[in-house]
């Protein structure tokens, strides 16, 4: 099934003729998510699903129509992590196909915490942000923004199967290693085939650095976790990354270096801001860091939660300190 071309040093996978990328539109600045369909015989596996919007629904329908596929051919729907653009259309795809949805238990717990129709509480993000100095007169925007995701992730799938680190999973009739790649989200999973084909989800992206957020229910030090994940990925034999945003790429080591350099520069900048000032809240530091950009609420959430991840990374390394203040934790040296 694998199409190879022989290089001098080792076999290089040029492309997989049975893996199809589906670019699904997103109504925010990331613009699109790339889902994949792997075809073997008359069976199909889907990896990541899009938001539940009419555009997503139309795109999936059109794609299946063009390929001449039936929904009942889908035997697995794999979700790399709980974020709405990956998980949001899983329930609908399950309704159409009857296929099971595969996800890590950790991400399922995140879904329950945020999006469970009866007990989930997306507005907890606003409370959490307030404790780091997010302005009280704008908290309602965060609440509305987070609550707004409910509409684009329902219906929830009813049949779920847990995936664990290091188990083997058949995708398109081939055995893949399930790899826990946390940092961007706590239970994020990626999938590696012995040929070097790597379904990476959001862990390494070709043209943007994945958002590393400090969020409620999240890892207390997501940036440290993410940097370890990058080291783990570097140690794997990866030829070709199938990312969840953007196009397939080969140079994973180079991309890991660029992403690490980005975080290194950001950490230095934040440290200098903390050192050169009196105690400031996480929000004040975020404002300085992004002072040249007008951010909508979606991007402000990304910018703020990522600033907090960097601040907590520095604090947990003992490089800066944090104190309680009525307007939110303040950082100082």
Burial classification of residue 80, based on how many CB atoms lie within 10 Å of its CB (0-12 exposed, 13-18 middle, 19 or more buried) = buried
Q: What residues does 40 pair with on adjacent strands?
A: 43
CB of 315 to Zn ion, least distance (A): 25
Q: What residues does 35 pair with on adjacent strands?
A: 22
Q: Torsion angle of alpha carbons 142, 148, 154, 159, nearest 10°?
A: 0
The answer to whether residue 219 forms part of the interface with Zn ion (CB under 5 A) is: no
Three-point CA angle 109, 110, 112, nearest 5°: 65
Nearer to Zn ion, 202 or 306 (CB): 202
Burial classification of residue 261, based on how many CB atoms lie within 10 Å of its CB (0-12 exposed, 13-18 middle, 19 or more buried) = exposed
Nearer to Zn ion, 33 or 285 (CB): 33
Stretch in the footprint of Zn ion (CB under 5 A) among 76-84, 121-129, 218-226, 291-299 = 76-84
CB of 30 to Zn ion, least distance (A): 9
CB of 234 to Zn ion, least distance (A): 21
Q: How many residues bind Zn ion (CB under 5 A)?
A: 2
The answer to whether residue 202 forms part of the interface with Zn ion (CB under 5 A) is: yes
Is residue 51 left, alpha or beta, with left meaning phi > 0 and alpha meaning psi from -120 to 50? beta
CA distances from 157 to 78, 153, 298 (A): 12, 10, 25
Q: What residues does 102 pair with on adjacent strands?
A: 78, 161
CB of 186 to Zn ion, least distance (A): 12
Which is it for strands 3-6 and 11-15: parallel, antiparallel or unpaired? antiparallel
DSSP state of 202: T
CB of 271 to Zn ion, least distance (A): 27
Stretch in the footprint of Zn ion (CB under 5 A) among 131-139, 201-209, 226-234, 267-275 = 201-209
Which is it for strands 43-47 and 32-40: parallel, antiparallel or unpaired? antiparallel
Nearer to Zn ion, 107 or 202 (CB): 202
Are 154 and 167 a contacting pair, CB within 8 Å? no
CB of 81 to Zn ion, least distance (A): 6
Stretch in the footprint of Zn ion (CB under 5 A) among 23-31, 140-148, 197-205, 283-291 = 197-205
Q: Which of the residues 225 through 244 are near Zn ion (CB under 5 A)?
A: none
- Interface residue with Zn ion among 24, 78, 79, 83 (CB under 5 A) is 83
Are 298 and 203 a contacting pair, CB within 8 Å? no
Q: What mask of x and - would describe binding to Zn ion in positions 147 to 186, judged by CB under 5 A?
A: ----------------------------------------
- Assigned token pair, 101: 């949805």
- Assigned token pair, 30: 């990331």
Q: Which of the residues 312 through 331 are near Zn ion (CB under 5 A)?
A: none
CB of 264 to Zn ion, least distance (A): 22
Nearer to Zn ion, 83 or 255 (CB): 83
Stretch in the footprint of Zn ion (CB under 5 A) among 67-75, 117-125, 199-207, 282-290 = 199-207
- Assigned token pair, 175: 């055995």
Stretch in the footprint of Zn ion (CB under 5 A) among 49-57, 80-88, 115-123, 262-270 = 80-88
CB of 171 to Zn ion, least distance (A): 20
- Is-cis flag, bond preceding 297, omega within 30? no
Q: What mask of x and - would describe binding to Zn ion in positions 241 to 260, judged by CB under 5 A?
A: --------------------
Nearer to Zn ion, 44 or 233 (CB): 233
- Residue nearest Zn ion by beta-carbon distance: 83
Distance CA 222, CA 184 (A): 7
Query: Which positions lie near Zn ion, rule CB under 5 A?
Result: 83, 202
């Amino acid at each position: 099934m694998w199409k190879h071309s022989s290089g001098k040093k080792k076999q290089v996978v040029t492309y997989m003729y049975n893996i199809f990328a589906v670019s699904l539109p997103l109504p925010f600045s990331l613009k699109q998510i790339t889902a994949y369909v792997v075809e073997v015989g008359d069976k199909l596996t889907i990896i990541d699903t899009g938001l539940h919007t009419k555009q997503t629904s139309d795109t999936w329908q059109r794609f299946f129509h063009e390929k001449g596929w039936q929904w009942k051919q889908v035997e697995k729907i794999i979700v790399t992590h709980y974020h709405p653009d990956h998980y949001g259309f899983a329930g609908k795809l399950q309704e159409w196909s009857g296929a099971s949805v595969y996800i890590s238990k950790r991400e399922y717990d995140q879904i329950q915490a945020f999006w469970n129709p009866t007990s989930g509480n997306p507005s907890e993000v606003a409370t959490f942000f307030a404790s780091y100095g997010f302005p009280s007169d704008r908290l309602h925007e965060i609440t509305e923004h987070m609550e707004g995701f409910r509409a684009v992730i329902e219906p929830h799938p009813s049949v779920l199967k847990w995936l664990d680190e290091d188990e083997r999973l058949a995708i398109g009739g081939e055995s893949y290693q399930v790899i826990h790649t946390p940092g961007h989200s706590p239970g994020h999973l990626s999938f590696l085939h012995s040929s070097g084909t790597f379904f990476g989800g959001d862990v390494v992206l070709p043209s943007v650095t994945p958002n590393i957020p400090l969020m409620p229910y999240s890892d207390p030090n997501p940036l440290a976790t993410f940097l370890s994940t990058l080291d783990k990925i570097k140690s794997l034999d990866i030829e070709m990354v199938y990312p969840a945003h953007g196009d397939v790429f080969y140079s994973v080591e180079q991309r890991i270096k660029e992403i690490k350099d980005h975080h290194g520069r950001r950490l230095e900048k934040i440290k200098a801001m903390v050192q050169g000032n009196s105690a400031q809240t996480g929000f004040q530091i975020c404002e300085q860091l992004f002072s040249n950009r007008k951010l909508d609420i979606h991007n402000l959430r990304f910018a703020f939660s990522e600033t907090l991840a960097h601040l907590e990374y520095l604090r947990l390394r003992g490089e800066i300190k944090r104190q309680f203040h009525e307007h939110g934790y303040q950082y100082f040296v």
